[in-house]
Amino acid sequence: MKKTWLLMAFAAILAFPARAAEPVSPAAEKRVLPWQTMRGYKAFVDVAYGFAVSDDFDELSDKIIVSTSHGYQFSNFFYLGGGMALEYYTQDGWKNAAFPFFVESRINLLSDKRLLPFISGRAGYTLGCLHGAYFDIQLGGRLKLKQRRAVYAAFTLSIMPNMEDERVDAANGLGIRVGLEF
């Protein structure tokens, strides 16, 4: 009798891992993990136009920006990645470029909707015609396409304090950014 109970307990212990290995039905997975439908590798490529709002650098007023960011979407709400940009300044025939390298964090305000508002922040360092910290804040919307792709547009605020020559000036700008997410 004692051996029978021991054998039944042993069989029950062996059955628990087998139950955990059963595949989850699609309906159950949708109920349990609806916030992970966007999870995985993400890349962002965008183009922006920035307008100067600072008088510190008259020659660095308007700029054309091309940037890319690559990282991981941890849930439908949070993305973390890194990237770089090329900022090409044009004013009165004076042309120069800055190269910001940054870490980007993006927070989606809704979960996997066709039209999705987001807030994004970038922080890093700038090389080129400006040297120093780089900060960029975006507020925009994302339009979902097929196969985990989307297009997005955002308003941006860029802050780049210049640390050269023992002075702290800032090249600040407002802009409009459009891009592709894949």
Q: What is the pLDDT along the chain (182 residues), one digit of tens a residue?
A: 667 776 676 666 666 555 555 565 666 555 546 667 788 999 999 999 998 776 655 555 688 999 999 999 998 899 999 999 999 987 766 678 889 999 999 999 987 788 999 999 999 999 988 788 999 999 999 999 988 899 999 999 988 876 665 555 556 789 999 999 99
Q: CA 117 → CA 43, 68, 78, distances in Å?
A: 18, 20, 13
Contact 106, 123 (CB under 8 A): no
Quote the pLDDT of residue 86: 95
Type of residue at 68: T
**Residue 60 and residue 160: Cα distance in Å, rounded?**
11
**Residue 145 and residue 108: Cα distance in Å, rounded?**
16
Quote the pLDDT of residue 4: 77
Contact 159, 170 (CB under 8 A): yes
Quote the pLDDT of residue 94: 65
Q: Which stretches within the chain are classed as H helix?
A: 2-20, 26-32
pTM: 0.75
Quote the pLDDT of residue 173: 83
Quote the pLDDT of residue 129: 81
**Residue 174 and residue 154: Cα distance in Å, rounded?**
11
Query: Which of 66, 76, 74 lies closest to 35, judged by CA?
Result: 76
Query: What percent of the residues of the chain are helix, what percent strand, and what percent coil, each to the nearest 5?
Result: 20, 55, 25
Phi first, then psi, for residue 22 (nearest 5°) are -65, 140
Go through the chain and tell me how many residues it has.
182
Tokens of 91: 């004013």
